[in-house]
């Protein structure tokens, strides 16, 4: 559903721009490249997704989120946003989508909005409710997935074990419906190889796992320094990043899988003390809702980055279904 004339170079924003501004602060203003694409394609619908930190980010004393919404409005006067700009401005956090509410075993909140051509309202006034369809509560049976549901059936590995490519077929049945869904259409596992870890990091991992298993709750770096000072890492800012080591517990959704997992696995420690390691690419992918037949290419660091930067497929599916529902209604009106 695309069409429209091509745009003029750098006509994206409805005001003058410093051409070097994006180079100076590229992370905050990457959305401008997205605006260029939309202006060229002119789709009936579009979807925008970003991290919650966008709401509080500032550049040159200006709130990035407010500037972004203004830019979308300025470039696309023939489009409307669901939720509306006014709704976002009043309470933007109300419209964060949490992946754990969509049958995904991960706590992952993201800013999402859906744009649509105002002219579509003439065919179906309910188009404006497309985002509300995404927000509808999922059936209770699709809630509450945790790390155990996600990765409990994957082969146990010690640090350094496994394979980046084909690992092997399934040697026992899936235990949970989520595992069965991830296995659908796949003959077995790929991208399931554990990192090697320094002996000191393995001792730290063991400390954090044992701390929780002994009924003391989740430990922080402060607990490690106080109880096991000999294991204090040689990092800077030890007092600021006290949760840089984090165990992903069996009975909870995982933490947000981020691209930083490509650098180290300290934030994604496997809950099984007998394995005592960080997540593999496949385990991270399972928590992101990638099916087992989805192969990640390149070096393992690049595979991790691909997983962490992705929109969880099951969340993308929920958004796509909401838009498809509106498209079906529009097609029925046209026909």
280 neighbors 307 (Cβ within 8 angstroms) = no
Query: From CA 128, how far away is CA 121, in angstroms rounded?
Result: 7
7 is catalytic: yes
Q: Cβ of 182: how many Cβ atoms within 10 Å?
A: 25
> Which one is catalytic: 3, 7, 188, 258?
7
Residues 6+ away with beta carbon under 8 Å from 131: 82, 83, 95, 112, 113, 114, 322
CA dihedral sign of residues 218, 220, 224, 226:
negative
The CA-CA-CA angle for residues 101, 266, 228, to 5°, reads 125
Closest to 204 in 3D by CA, of 190, 226, 221: 221
Q: Which two tokens stand for residue 92?
A: 């933007």
Query: From CA 67, how far away is CA 73, in angstroms rounded?
Result: 10
Closest to 116 in 3D by CA, of 106, 105, 102, 130: 130
Q: CA of 309: how far to CAs of 31, 64, 302, in Å?
A: 15, 20, 11
Q: Which residues are catalytic?
A: 7
């Amino acid at each position: 559903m695309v069409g429209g004339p091509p745009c003029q170079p750098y006509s994206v924003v409805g005001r003058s721009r410093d051409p070097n501004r994006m180079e100076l602060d590229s992370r905050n203003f990457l959305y401008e490249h997205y605006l260029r694409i939309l202006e060229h394609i002119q789709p009936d619908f579009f979807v925008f997704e970003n991290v919650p930190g966008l709401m509080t980010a500032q550049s040159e004393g200006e709130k990035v989120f407010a500037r972004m919404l203004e830019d979308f409005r300025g470039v696309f006067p023939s489009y409307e946003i669901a939720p509306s700009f006014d709704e976002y401005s009043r309470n933007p956090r109300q419209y964060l989508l949490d992946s754990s509410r969509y049958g995904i075993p991960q706590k992952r909140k993201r800013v999402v909005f859906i744009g649509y051509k105002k002219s579509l309202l003439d065919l179906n006034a309910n188009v404006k409710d497309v985002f509300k369809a995404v927000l509808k509560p999922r059936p209770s049976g699709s809630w509450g997935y945790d790390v155990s549901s996600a990765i409990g059936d994957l082969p146990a590995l010690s640090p350094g074990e496994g394979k980046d490519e084909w690992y092997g077929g399934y040697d026992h049945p899936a235990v949970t419906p989520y595992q069965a869904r991830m296995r659908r259409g796949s003959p077995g596992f790929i991208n399931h190889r554990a990192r090697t870890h320094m002996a000191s990091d393995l001792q730290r991992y063991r400390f954090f796992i044992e701390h929780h298993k002994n009924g003391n709750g989740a430990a922080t770096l402060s607990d490690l320094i106080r109880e096991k000072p000999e294991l204090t890492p040689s990092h800077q800012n030890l007092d600021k990043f006290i949760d840089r080591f984090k165990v992903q517990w069996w009975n909870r959704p995982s933490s947000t899988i981020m691209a930083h997992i490509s650098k180290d696995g300290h934030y994604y420690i496997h809950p099984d003390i007998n394995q005592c390691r960080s997540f593999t690419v496949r385990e991270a992918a399972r928590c992101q809702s990638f099916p087992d037949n989805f192969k990640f290419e390149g070096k393992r660091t690049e595979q991790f980055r691909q997983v962490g930067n992705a929109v969880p497929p099951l969340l993308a599916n929920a958004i796509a279904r909401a838009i498809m529902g509106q498209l079906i209604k529009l097609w029925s009106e046209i026909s």
